[in-house]
A and B are shown apart, each in its own frame.
Chain A
Amino acid sequence: MKIAYFVPCYIDAFAPQAAISTYQLLKRFDQLDVDFVGRAACCGLPLTDMGYSKQGCKIEKNFTSMFSGYDAVVIPSGICAEEIRDHFNAIEQTEEVIRLRENVYDIVEFLHDCLQVKALPWAKFPHKVGLHNGCHSLRYLKHARPTELMIPEFSKTGDLLSLVEGLEIAYPTRKDECCGFGGTFSVWSPGCAGQMVEDKVNDYARNGIQYVTSADFTCLLNQQTAADKLGIPLKTFFIAEILNGSAVL
């Protein structure tokens, strides 16, 4: 299976450890031929978020030219995967574009649904870890059952983490309340967004959660830097760091 590994801009620059862990994790699977496309690319999310999706045509063309022709495009970011799958509309919807959109997966979906991973013998993390399912991954990519929906319980992120030796999954009291990042939201509504993230990290503290993992690095960056500002002990890990066994305390 020939897959393209797409590292989104903000992961490349601000979370190389997340990108490295995901890359190493993918390389562990013999059936995969992992191709890292060296040049930077954007999925167009900031423009869609703010209503400027029609201006995203060049971005989408650039992305399509770089990532077509693979069996799958794997992304260590739920929000970018969702953008391409659900909102990649500025560009003409050719067969190539439709195929690309169908073949995009975030790392959790790829491991859980495509590879159907049942064991991670190299992964060990004997700690209580708070699981934060980012809103996009939770409610649009359907990583787990959102608390609002009265459907059978499931959790793809939980399934994968349960394969890690010694790891105990924990949740804050408000299990899937938004942490307030919301892309441009935290820039345009800093007061409200700031209160949301403060409430989130306090919820962890009240529940004795000192480590948090998520499939969305933007949420983790938001929570980590807010906890640091408040002096609340918290260490966040991108989910692939734990699944790859490369999370360092």
Chain B
Amino acid sequence: MKQVNQVKLSESFLKDDAHRESHDKNLWAARMRRDEVARNIPEWEEMRELASRIKMHTLANLDTYLEEFEKNALANGIHVHWAKDAQEHNEIIYQIFAEHNVKVVTKGKSMLMDECGMREYMGERGIEIYEADLGERIQQLDDEPASHIVMPAIHKLRGDVSRLFAEKLGSDPAKDDPHYLNSVMRADMRKNYIRVDAGMSGVNFAIAESGGILVTTNEGNADISANVPPLYVASMGIEKVIPRVSDAALFVRLLSRSALGFHVTQYTSHYHGPREGQEMHLVIVDNGRSERLGAPEYWQVLKCIHCAACMNTCPVYRRCGGLSYDAIYMGPIGIVLEPSYDLHKYAQLPYACSHCGSCGNVCPVKVPIPEYVLTWRKILVDRKEDLLTHRLQMDLGAMVLNSSKTLEMGLKVALNALRYIPKGVMESGVNPWAEHHTDPLPPKETFREWYRKQEETDEKPNKQ
């Protein structure tokens, strides 16, 4: 399979000032709101630590909690299904749809369903699926994947949406007022809600103690999908389970504040069974998760609660845009998660990082993302998935850096290059540094040369 080249895929977005600046500004604003609301909670850092520990505890006892959850969910009247991978997930849901003669479906956001390619699978089998989340629907209309896991169309400008709606929904192309655009979408989606046969949603938290699921949205789209049709199907990864109802309070407090800097999501809905006359199904999916759980080098990625705080703060993500990762999960969590889905395809993602460490500090469940970036680079080298250019440079580098003698020679060569190679050559295309920087001015003498001279003259600076 072709390897994703994030550097290349980010080029056009980086050069597009209007899109890049707006993207960077909007996400930075989310980060600033997050700081503001987090600052107002004196126990914020304790909450992060506690949330991390609860997640680690649950993951360490995942079998027990999943079984407890299943038992209670079944008692609540929820049909529970287990899927080992994406294929099984899609087959199970198709089977349910076939039995109920489902043709039209609306769905709330679900990263897991995206991961499983569920929409495409159903589309090929004649089932129409309408995304009910505004951003997700915009992306669906534009035939593009989501660029952010919470704000799927955040890379688009208002004008882009206006043009898209004019083309696909027949709205007035001259209007890009958000209220107008919203009303266009609302009118269009209502038509679907009326004729819908089934609703779908993802799951934010599954509570073992009560056998219910918790879904958070800001648009209420998951609620319409769950409440209007006679059939409701939700999917969750095995890592979504938490032990107690009281734990949900902690995670809900952390989630929206970390994601968008809001105190709470507009809709925090608990589904603890089908309503009267409705059938409710829940598919619990592994799809590589138990393998991840068994990997001591990076198992803590499973703590992630999908808030996207790491994306909002990432200086690389904000400037490159989420589509440049060409992956379901993008930004910091994406670059340490995607290689565990397909090592070769995503082998270059762990290099889309300047090691600033900010993601690790905003993560509400303390996934050690910065550490995992280095871990993945090591794994890539161990499994020979590193780039040949990297390997050659590092082999050469190690030869120079290995001993004092070679290092001193190497420094002399570098300095002489700066001193004597004509500026025209140094600032040409062969030097990638030159596009954004002047060459550093080579000093007349190195510290070592200065030190030797200074020792000879024994000139001592003033003592305190």
Contact = CB atoms under 8 A, between A and B. Distances in A.
Contact of A188 (B7, B361, B438): B7
B187 interface: no
Contacts of A95: none
Interface in A37-53: 38-42, 44, 46-53
A102 B319 CA distance: 38
Contacts, number: 223
Interface in B242-289: none
Contact of A59 (B402, B410, B437): B402
Interface in B445-462: 445-452, 460-462
Interface stretch (B95-103, B165-173, B377-385): B377-385
B408 A225 contact: no
B316 A189 contact: yes
Nearest to A29: B464
B397 A47 contact: yes
Interface stretch (A18-26, A105-113, A204-212): A18-26
Contact of B394 (A52, A191, A225): A52
Contact of B319 (A15, A66, A192, A228): A192
B11 A139 contact: no
In the complex, which of the residues B379, B442, B462 has the most CB atoms of chain A within 10 Å of its own CB atom? B462
Given A24-B461, A27-B461, A150-B41, A182 B353 contact: yes
Contact of A192 (B28, B320, B376, B460): B320
A42 B11 CA distance: 34
B447 A12 contact: yes
A191 B358 contact: no
Contact of B380 (A12, A51, A191, A228): A51
Interface size class of B (residues with CB under 8 A): 35 or more
Contacts of B14: 191-192, 195
Interface in B360-419: 360-362, 370, 374, 376-382, 386, 390, 394-395, 397-398, 401-404, 407-408, 410-411, 414-415
In the complex, which of the residues A51, A138, A196 has the most CB atoms of chain B within 10 Å of its own CB atom? A51
A36 B448 CA distance: 9
A143 interface: no
A225 B354 contact: no
A180 B404 contact: no
Nearest to A177: B315
Interface in A51-81: 51-56, 58-59, 62, 66
Interface in B285-330: 313, 315-316, 319-320
Nearest to A122: B462
A36 B381 CA distance: 36
Contacts of B422: none
A51 B378 contact: yes
Contacts of A66: 404
**For chain B, what secondary structure do more than half of its interface residues adopt (helix, strand, loop), or is it mixed?**
helix
B374 A185 contact: no
Contact of B354 (A180, A191, A198, A224): A180
A91 interface: no
B355 interface: yes
Interface residues of A, number: 83
Given A62-B403, A150-B38, A52 B361 contact: no
Given A13-B411, A50-B377, A38 B44 contact: no
B435 interface: yes
Contacts of A139: 356-358, 360-361, 370
B64 to A, nearest CB: 33
B378 A36 contact: no
B436 interface: yes
A199 to B, nearest CB: 8
A190 B313 contact: no
Given A16-B450, A49-B377, 10 more contacts: A11-B447, A20-B450, A24-B461, A30-B463, A42-B407, A139-B356, A147-B35, A186-B433, A196-B315, A229-B436
13 contacts: A16-B450, A23-B447, A51-B379, A55-B398, A56-B398, A62-B403, A138-B357, A140-B357, A182-B356, A190-B435, A193-B354, A195-B319, A225-B437
Pairs A-B, 3 closest by C-beta atoms: A51-B377, A182-B354, A194-B436
